[in-house]
Amino acid sequence: MDSWGTRPKRVAVIGGGLVGSLNACFLAKRNFQVDVYEAREDIRVAQLARGRSINLALSHRGRQALKALGLEDQIVSQGIPMRARMIHSFSGKKSAIPYGTKSQYILSISRTNLNKDLLTAVERYPNAKVYFGHRLLTCNLEEGTITVLGSDKVPTDVTYDLIVGCDGAYSTVRSFLMKKPRFDYSQQYIPHGYMELTIPPRDGDFAMEPNYLHIWPRNTFMMIALPNKNKTFTCTLFMPFEDFEKLQTSRDVLDFFHKHFPDAVPLMGEQALARDFFLLPAQAMISVKCSPFHFKSRCMLMGDAAHAIVPFFGQGMNAGFEDCLVFDELMEKFNNDLSVCLPEFSRFRIPDDHAVSDLSMYNYVEKNVERLLHAIMPSTFIPLYTMVTFSRIRYHEAVLRWRWQKKVINKGFFLFGTLVAIGSAYLLLRSTAPRRLDYLRGPWDWVTSLQHSLKTPWSL
């Protein structure tokens, strides 16, 4: 029997996006009476003006959340495995860099299709209902009462035992939490924006190798491409707004792409590129942090509403999905006691979500030496990207472990360099050859080369 007796508790989930619909499934599975309020119309029956299809990278954390609901196989079957990064140089040369072992890969998933599947999964529960076209107006956190506005334009008050804000980076639920004492909030826009473009099929097949995340790194900006089931690639150009603003005409755009992404132009097509570039303006990227994630036993935040992050570690959706899984695990541990689970969720999850936010802001460079040490000592040295993407090691613990590994690696290089220097000095003293300094120059060049070998920017 549930801890609250015979009456199922009522939960309002604000936001029917990826995290909101997944969380609704978890709550409905625990026999809560769940109402989901989504401001948009039903994306399964309406063609919404949302721009081009967005692809997301589904990794281990997200898959574990889907697995807990029995949805993993269905969703994974609709994705395309990406087993490595494919780096495109200025010259057009391509270099593959595996994510990890042969069994480790991430999935390219359509955001729209995934959202449709999750909404359908919610509606399979008889104790769950989705209200489309319903916008949250006000929220009384003390009483658990929300006011929503539907298509009839008549405000309606409804009272719930729990209100869950899954309404994104610009969360309305969070705006009411911000009025409470001791609620901390910060946000930061980065100088970069992003724009989505398309590489169409060629002769009915993929125009590039499909099982890769294609990356064109170009110092202060870059472009990536993820494969779709329809043989297209969804490209995303990340670039400072000031550079976007310099491209005012079709000629400007074509000259820019020919200069920086010459191998991509024939794949996109000049005419399509010049047209698509101006369909939508570059979009902003925001990082949000707040604390706590809950208010008493009445309200909580999840996903972007709690911790919007920039996309440079590919963990936005995965972190939001893990929020849902962690909360479900806490509910299991504490027998659905909301007065215990909500504060415990904040205590447990805030360090991890803030850590992944910091990782995403940090333009991390992963070195070959980490992969080498991981191959030799897989349980001791694990690359940061591997810990974040292919495990459920807590985000903040991954950061602490990575910092420890960096210290060990740096000390190892220092010790190795010292031994090389001593050995070289000994040989130098023993040698009478005219080119004595070569003994010192060679080993130190090798150490420097190893430390800086094959740097991969933007850890995607």
**pLDDT, average across residues 319-332:** 98
Would you call 98 helix, strand, or coil by DSSP? strand
Query: 308 and 381: one domain?
Result: no
Residue 435 has a pLDDT of 46
Over 90: is that where the pLDDT of 50 sits?
no
Output 133 or 368, whichever has higher pLDDT: 133
CA–CA gap between residue 253 and residue 241 (Å, rounded) = 14
CA–CA gap between residue 430 and residue 411 (Å, rounded) = 29
76, 229 in Cβ contact below 8 A? no
Query: CA dihedral in degrees (39, 226, 47, 158; nearest 10)?
Result: -20
Indicate the pLDDT class of residue 359, thresholds 50, 70 and 90. Answer: confident
Query: CA dihedral in degrees (374, 378, 381, 382; nearest 10)?
Result: 80
Phi, psi at 362, each rounded to 5°: -90, 120
Indicate the pLDDT class of residue 429, thresholds 50, 70 and 90. Answer: low
Domain membership flag for residue 98: yes
Query: If you average pLDDT over every residue of the chain, what do you get?
Result: 86
Over 80: is that where the pLDDT of 6 sits?
no
431: amino acid identity, one letter: S
Query: 350 and 374: one domain?
Result: no
Output 90 or 209, whichever has higher pLDDT: 209
Residue 49 has a pLDDT of 43
Indicate the pLDDT class of residue 409, thresholds 50, 70 and 90. Answer: low
Domain that holds residue 56: 10-189+282-361
Residue 450 has a pLDDT of 39
Query: 291 and 395: one domain?
Result: no
Indicate the pLDDT class of residue 3, thresholds 50, 70 and 90. Answer: very low
Indicate the pLDDT class of residue 378, thresholds 50, 70 and 90. Answer: low
**pLDDT, average across residues 375-387:** 60
Please give, one letter per residue, the 3-state secondary structure of 100-134: CCCCCCEEEEEHHHHHHHHHHHHHCCCCEEEEECC
Domain membership flag for residue 422: no
Collect all residues with Cβ–Cβ distance below 8 Å to 376 and sequence separation of at least 6: none
277, 269 in Cβ contact below 8 A? no
Residue 412 has a pLDDT of 57
Query: 303 and 399: one domain?
Result: no
Residue whose structure tokens are 């009456």: 7
273, 420 in Cβ contact below 8 A? no
Over 80: is that where the pLDDT of 410 sits?
no
Q: What total of structural domains would you count in the chain? A: 2
Query: 390 and 356: one domain?
Result: no
Query: 352 and 395: one domain?
Result: no
The pLDDT > 90 percentage for the chain reads 68
CA–CA gap between residue 78 and residue 277 (Å, rounded) = 28
Domain membership flag for residue 123: yes
Would you call 249 helix, strand, or coil by DSSP? coil
**pLDDT, average across residues 110-137:** 97
Residue 260 has a pLDDT of 96
Query: 67 and 163: one domain?
Result: yes
Residue 394 has a pLDDT of 84
Closest by CA position to 211, among listed 75, 86, 58, 52: 86
The pLDDT > 70 percentage for the chain reads 80
Collect all residues with Cβ–Cβ distance below 8 Å to 325 and sequence separation of at least 6: 26, 61, 64, 65, 68
Indicate the pLDDT class of residue 337, thresholds 50, 70 and 90. Answer: very high
User: How confident is the model over 338-354, as pLDDT tens digits?
Assistant: 999 999 999 999 999 99
**pLDDT, average across residues 152-156:** 95
Domain membership flag for residue 124: yes
CATH code assigned at 79: 3.50.50.60
Query: 340 and 379: one domain?
Result: no
Among the listed ranges 46-60, 99-113, 284-298, which one has the minimum average pLDDT value?
Answer: 46-60
Query: 160 and 112: one domain?
Result: yes
Would you call 398 helix, strand, or coil by DSSP? helix
Phi, psi at 99, each rounded to 5°: -70, -35
Residue 71 has a pLDDT of 97
Domain membership flag for residue 177: yes
pTM for the predicted model, two decimal places: 0.81
Residue 361 has a pLDDT of 79
Query: 173 and 68: one domain?
Result: yes
Residue 449 has a pLDDT of 39
Output 183 or 385, whichever has higher pLDDT: 183
Residue whose structure tokens are 């415990």: 344
Query: 287 and 402: one domain?
Result: no
304: amino acid identity, one letter: D
Indicate the pLDDT class of residue 5, thresholds 50, 70 and 90. Answer: low
**pLDDT, average across residues 191-206:** 96
167, 151 in Cβ contact below 8 A? no
Domain membership flag for residue 334: yes
Closest by CA position to 386, among listed 371, 373, 376: 371
Query: 308 and 380: one domain?
Result: no
